[in-house]
Structure 1
Amino acid sequence: MLKLNQKEVLMKKPLSVVLSSVMVSALFLPVNAAAYKVVEVTNGGTITGQVTFAGSEADAKKHTKVYTITKDTDVCGTGKREINYVKVNKGALNDVVVYLDKVKKGKAWPEDEKNATIDQKGCEFLPFFTVMANKGELTAINSDPVAHNIHTYAIIGKAKKTMANVSQPVQGSQVTKTVKLKKRSTGLKVECDQHDFMHAFVFVAKNPYYARVAEDGSYTIKDIPPGKYKVKVWHGYLKDPRAKQVTVKAGQTKTVKTFEYKNKKK
């Protein structure tokens, strides 16, 4: 009996069967998410709320890490450097962003919030926490008379993935990189490969519906088109609470139940 190989079998199949197989396979190919669309928002709704920390300020200080300065002490200082990864103000957690997830269309991005700049001064990242837009530009400036090496990582759950690793050997050097994070990541950890005591965080927004909390933990997100949304929070160091489902009505203000962070690292 004549045996046919796999290629010959495929060639002998009816054209309709082959096309059907191709169409079925296409259903399982990855599809790129639609880009955010800017539309006019009239009589939009508002979301407000607060972000708190379940522990005391003493509990927050347990997340402070102490590093020994052993290099470039004439610029970086001497002794120890403390990094407060969890900052609490009278029960309110700071350095947190509240945002709406997977918003397809709405208000325009504020131009002054699309990009971000981090300065390296006194062997410290300034600011320690900042916000920018996905596909925006992150600029790093070296204001010190010593070499720095800025290293950015996308935070993906408990893992980190290198996004940029650039040497800045001289004072005044400046580097700008476009930040493009995939859906599983919403923030960056920033470190210096020259100085292990330099750390910072960047929240990378996928749409303009976000707010950095105030010192008292409060936040407000405005001009939201009516609809159902998933509200999330992001802290670079602590494990984020579960999202909350919220229905926003035209012209109305919705207060979201308080997000409470437990005393748990990511």
Structure 2
Amino acid sequence: MTDPLLELRSVNKSFGPVQVLHDVDFRVYPGQVTALVGDNGAGKSTLVKTIAGIYRADSGDFAFDGKPVTIHSPKEAADLGIEVVYQDLALCDNLDIVQNMFLGREATSGGVVLDELTMEERARTTLASLSVRTVKSVRQSVASLSGGQRQTVAIAKAVLWNSRVVLLDEPTAALGVAQTRQVLDLVRRLADAGLGVVLISHNMVDVLEVSDRITALYLGRVAADLPAKESNLSQIVELITAGRSGDIGIPAATAAESA
């Protein structure tokens, strides 16, 4: 196996007296989809926000491309090439696709005038590189897009900036069958293009379909980290709900006592 692109070792995070993450080890490999699964309150959101620089870890080590790094802000995460697509997508309905993709990072000519042509071309190129064919025009208002198209634009916005790791928070949660298919195909294409993709999802069918590895969190601890092809639906559900599955994972009682 190749070396991990992003690696967290023994990461801890507390909020006051409540410890949310307990010695979490987490790895993201280039060209692979790593599913991050766990029940509500398992620590998924806290882990993602720690990777994104929104929260600072209390202790633990981070490595990117094999080199030690610190991530103390979203800008530091973005500078490394880490982008997060949150469940609410953070898109502005009153703006078009180009304006959303470049929001806060607009290209200018002479440092003053917006370079609309360059932004349009880069938006089209990015969407084309992801084999997105459902968007008619990059000047469409986001308000006119379907749920699947919005998710596509949010993902394209994340990869526009030469990102190397993309974290997707419940990308299919509010989508129908056809739109879910489009997004899952896009997730797979991101990995096939060499990016490290983290998929946070409660839909275990989606997880098993597109993931290469599965990391299960239980009460803030890693219950298991295993290849997707070596797991099945019932095993993952047991890991999520009890912290173990057969001889895999930590004993549920131990995790509960440590929380």
Given the two structures, how large is their TM-score scaled by the length of structure 2? Answer: 0.26
Larger of the two Rg values belongs to structure: 1
Higher strand share: 1
Given the two structures, how large is their TM-score scaled by the length of structure 1? Answer: 0.25
